[in-house]
Structure 1
């Protein structure tokens, strides 16, 4: 099965298990989020919009009017992951997680694939090592969890048969450089840990994603800013989801793509994989894509990678976490964007996807989305699909229901507040709703729709 447009066929109609771990403190967001959100909207946008009628009597939720001008953020409570539309994954703990009592995770990724006729759910994300409060200046690789249902039980991938003495669930790490053999590279020289007098040990891996394409597991990830080279790479499994994984040939010397201008050894980050039919594409930060070769060992050579046709903000801020998802025959291009607050001339608060500047404060790390008829675009104007749900992915469960991930960014803004930081960096999922073939939008499931299940 591919990771493509519909994430495979639906199998079975069993209800998902109940009793999931609910989002800690989410109910307490309501009053604050509601009062803050209205400041960014016109009076018309703040009013309820009736649902659209659909053929056969089905009714779809309606698109919301967008804040004007283009680039303002929609911060309404309805677009937050809340207790009624989201929950946290109860991931099996590693020894490093026991003190916190849960898994610390950034850039949460979850997906569902059909493997040997059964649904397999996978989860991964950016990890940190014991003794550090962040995933920098170094971390020790990529961990994977699997489950038969979105509600679990979530177990670490069983890597004990590959590395009996290593920490269970760790499928790749710069530490595995000793596994390199002639003709088989696990860790390239540019991915190895290194040392300097200022920071000591350095080298970290970010934003991993797992994809199951043409019967093979592929792991996309990015070496971070403290690595010898920053950029996206891909691993191919020679076994199951647990590995063993090796580096594809196109990444032996460098990450995918070209150098970012003016940034030595910095390539395009946050690589993702989009598959449709028998073809696959690399999606790169924040506007680039490339087709993979048929053997999946590298991208098709090109002088300059093509760009998605999309409607940029003016000015365009720094965006991260590009991801493509297909639903209802349409392509959805996701980005993560910081909603920054500032003060309008009348004293009210402005919420917008602005570049950084004096007087602007990072507030929420949002998911912004645009839609198109074709993979490459042209894409529509973007809208706020989820408040605080940036650097995520959309996916379809085995019953056909739509979900997004979130992690509550602990670096800046709302979730970095000392009163909330203990509830940040989580593995969360939130239900999505589609506004139908006329509206063609995906939003975090808005209120009055009942609890997530």
Structure 2
């Protein structure tokens, strides 16, 4: 078990065959003043160790106070200092590693590893000294033609330019046929079995779930949203070395035996190409 507090789990299979994990840190107050992006690594999705950078930094690959600019302002929330860093995701695109993240009330950032290595160092890749968008949560998707898209918030999407320094169109909302959005946060997009699968996180009766809607075209129309990963809110999907698809998740309720610890489970596609968790003891926890 990965015994370190973490939410919004993201796992990326690196070009070197190693799995890299990141997510929201800052326990016990996830809404306070944080600012670290940390990464762990594993050869097998079971044994995880910090991705060492410099001796004193350990798994920290980027920090707002040390390396930020527009990200630094501290605001107040209910009278308390407020500047968390939420939901970083690691992606390998265009020969290097990228980190998306959000600073609530300020916006989304995008970092590029200038070394081509997962440990960085990372530099701000946005062409202007400002957020890429004013929303929460952020992700990237590269289509089969090489085009990269930026996603955020509740299902918003826009194409990026070639060097990924800016958006080349206005953000637009991808909407399921039966709902205003796929989820109110935690948007993630991937392609499998010829379909684009749009995921999002939403609460139903107090439980935090992952919902998905699918389409033959990236801009839609998308079909009905459905419950894909119960209690799996704000997750990502990835393939392992054998091509098996997985969903990340984290213990997000008080009854979870691994509360606020990262985890992953194998998924499958049913006859309608809908996502569902695999049974038969297929889980592996980080």
State whether TM-score is above 0.5.
yes
Query: Any residues of structure 2 matched to 1:35-434 within 5 Å, and which?
Result: 90=2, 102-115=3-16, 119-128=17-26, 133-152=28-47, 154-160=48-54, 164=55, 166-177=56-67, 187-188=68-69, 190-194=70-74, 199=79, 201-225=81-105, 229=106, 231-239=107-115, 240-250=117-127, 252-253=129-130, 255-257=131-133, 267-277=134-144, 278-300=146-168, 302=169, 304-313=170-179, 319-340=184-205, 362=206, 364-409=207-252, 415-416=253-254, 420=255, 423-434=258-269
Change (3 A) 1:128 1:405: same
For 2:13 and 2:175, the matched residues in 1 are separated by 29
For 1:195 and 1:320, the matched residues in 2 are separated by 21
Change (3 A) 1:211 1:306: same
SS at match of 2:14: strand
For 1:168 and 1:197, the matched residues in 2 are separated by 30
Q: Are the equivalent residues in 1 in contact too, given 2:137–2:153 (CA < 8 A)? A: yes
CA RMSD of aligned residues (A): 2.2
For 1:389 and 1:110, the matched residues in 2 are separated by 14
**Larger radius of gyration between Structure 1 and Structure 2:** 1
For 2:211 and 2:188, the matched residues in 1 are separated by 11
Change (3 A) 1:198 1:289: closer
Report whether the alignment pairs 1:441 with 2:284.
no
For 1:431 and 1:256, the matched residues in 2 are separated by 32
SS at match of 1:235: strand
Which has the larger share of helix? 1
SS at match of 2:234: coil
TM-superposed deviation, 1:370: 0.9
Q: Are the equivalent residues in 1 in contact too, given 2:250–2:259 (CA < 8 A)? A: yes
Normalised TM-score (structure 1): 0.58
In structure 1, the gaps of 5 or more residues are: 1-20, 22-89, 91-101, 178-186, 258-266, 341-361, 410-414
Q: Are the equivalent residues in 2 in contact too, given 1:174–1:193 (CA < 8 A)? A: no
For 2:10 and 2:26, the matched residues in 1 are separated by 16
* Matched length: 282
Change (3 A) 1:290 1:331: same
Question: What do the CA deviations read for 1:298-355 (whole angstroms, capped 9, x no partner)?
Answer: 111x3x32332422427x6961111101111111000111011xxxxxxxxxxxxxxx
SS at match of 1:299: coil
TM-superposed deviation, 1:380: 0.8
For 1:425 and 1:111, the matched residues in 2 are separated by 19
Question: What do the CA deviations read for 1:140-176 (whole angstroms, capped 9, x no partner)?
Answer: 3110011222223x2211211xxx4x33010111121
SS at match of 1:191: coil
In structure 2, the gaps of 5 or more residues are: none
TM-superposed deviation, 1:134: 2.2
Of the structure 1 ranges 138-147 and 192-201, higher mean CA displacement relative to structure 2 is found in 192-201
Change (3 A) 1:451 1:395: closer
For 1:295 and 1:213, the matched residues in 2 are separated by 11
